[in-house]
Chains A and B, each alone.
With several copies, the nearest count.
Chain A
């Protein structure tokens, strides 16, 4: 398999509600640049929206890094969310449909995972949380 190259990158701070909207908009623009189909654009923007909200609400704010990626000949988009919040003690549980500690629907993490091609979650209590998702073109 060819290596992944990163050809453009942008950082968005996630501090307030409106930043979640900004992440969505920038994610959309990047997905258009990567020539994802409309359905794939919609999926990755929706996943990013879920994760940005988690970064804000559970992580107490953080950052999103958006990247245009390429694994020749396929283009794609990648977005990483990082926060210095409380972290997640039981990751498998957090990834379960319907599980929430905050009164959400509990579909953010599990649903986001279903919507993308690659999903990585790193977290430990006290050590913050990082989630990286990638969506490849077809």
Chain B
């Protein structure tokens, strides 16, 4: 089974899905990400799916689960680069990806994550000190 690599950039974990995900790989990514969030104290997760040709209900669920798990672990997830054909298909399939934040591209996604982390109360207090 292939494994999707996870990169760390400051307080953000970066994932770029470049392969056609088999279910076991998707599950492993979910678990690897949760572990890395806890191990690194990352506050953001950015998942680039611009190379992903289809998102079926299994992969869609993986994205929702990653978003929910990261939230429980005090990190924010953004999914970027979804292709228009994938977005249309997802909607017809019946998946809404509720709870998953999306952005157009990596740059916009990183901005969104930076904003989410900067407005945290502890950060505000840290600056006031």
- Comparing A7-15, A43-51, A65-73, A76-84, the segment that makes contact with chain B is A43-51
Name the one of B20, B31, B55, B84 contacting A21, with C-beta atoms under 8 angstroms: B20
Give complex CA distance A50, B55 in Å. 10
B56, A38: Cβ atoms under 8 Å? no
Q: Is A115 an interface residue (CB 8 A)?
A: yes
What sequence of 0s and 1s flags, for each residue 41-57 of chain B, a beta carbon within 8 Å of any chain A beta carbon?
Answer: 00000000000011111
Give complex CA distance A114, B64 in Å. 15
Q: What residues of B have a CB within 8 angstroms of the CB of A42 in the complex?
A: 53-54, 83, 85-86, 88-89
Q: Is B36 an interface residue (CB 8 A)?
A: no
Q: Is B92 an interface residue (CB 8 A)?
A: yes
Nearest A residue to B93, CB-CB: A111
The verdict on A115 contacting B31 (CB below 8 Å), with A17-B22, A42-B53 known, is no
Majority-rule SS of A interface residues: helix
Number of residues in A with C-beta < 8 Å to the partner?
29
A110, B88: Cβ atoms under 8 Å? no
Shortest CB distance A25–B (Å): 7
Name the one of B21, B23, B31, B60 contacting A53, with C-beta atoms under 8 angstroms: B23
Nearest B residue to A25, CB-CB: B20
Q: What residues of B have a CB within 8 angstroms of the CB of A111 in the complex?
A: 57, 92-95
Q: What residues of A have a CB within 8 angstroms of the CB of B94 in the complex?
A: 97, 105, 107, 110-111, 114
Shortest CB distance A104–B (Å): 7
Name the one of A18, A45, A115 contacting B53, with C-beta atoms under 8 angstroms: A45
Extra inter-chain contacts (11) besides given A50-B56, A104-B57, A114-B92, CB under 8 Å: A38-B85, A42-B86, A43-B89, A45-B53, A46-B54, A105-B60, A105-B94, A107-B94, A111-B57, A111-B93, A115-B89
Instruction: List residues of A whose CB falls within 8 A of some B CB.
Output: 17-18, 20-21, 24-25, 28, 37-39, 41-43, 45-46, 49-50, 53, 97, 104-105, 107-108, 110-112, 114-115, 138
